[in-house]
Structure 1
């Protein structure tokens, strides 16, 4: 019995480093996922409010930096592309964004509500507001 326990512990010790180095999904890396979420919400505001524009070049620069950061964290270009192209991830991000919009009084039937939120985000210089500019 003790021999079996010793062998089990030795086997666990041998594979533990493999588990310790396993990468989590990019959707669980806040510095990547949250930054993309902020950009996505800003784009939605830009799409529905004609008095606010998205700061596209700033967003593009951040996206390239996020890709580099993900590469530095050990994610391959294929893993990054799979995360970006995933229908499941797109649906998750959309649901998260729509929940934020709804919680802040935004309605797709009332484009002005997008403008009000956009102006508030700009005024607060929030993580979303930095990607927006009032016309």
Structure 2
């Protein structure tokens, strides 16, 4: 699971939510951005573990781009936004938060059916994670 969530965090940097170490201390505390990134990672992980659910890739990429806009609207520079995602420590922190949230929702590493259950529950509840799945 760790490698998959790491892959999502790397993907986030690739699509442009990425730059400068000064943002690491404050952008990480912005729930609108932080929680959005975690939700995308959780949806991706569910889609990787549960063969009957798929990630809505275009929707996810569009959402990630909107998080960059949100960070800008909050007053962060592109360099600060880039630093937030480029930080290895921040990547590890986000991965840990995503894993903990998945576990709290009932996902058990090595048990794909639990990921399916979590994904379907998220879809039924129309959460952001559910919105990123089909």
Task: Give structure 1 stretches of 5+ with no counterpart.
Answer: 1-22
* 1:76 partnered with 2:64: no
CA distance in 2, matches of 1:103, 1:74: 33
Distance in 2 between residues matched to 1:69 and 1:104, nearest whole Å = 27
* Stretch moving more, 39-48 or 68-77: 68-77
> Do residues 105 (structure 1) and 106 (structure 2) align?
yes
More strand by share: 1
Match for residue 51 of structure 1?
A: 52
Query: Where does structure 2 lack aligned partners over 5 or more consecutive residues?
Result: 1-22
The whole-number CA distance in structure 1 between the counterparts of 2:80 and 2:64 is 15
Aligned-partner SS, 1:109: coil
Q: What is aligned with 1:60?
A: 61
* Structure whose alpha-carbon radius of gyration is higher: 1
Pair 1:41 & 2:42 matched: yes
Query: TM-score, normalising length from structure 2?
Result: 0.76
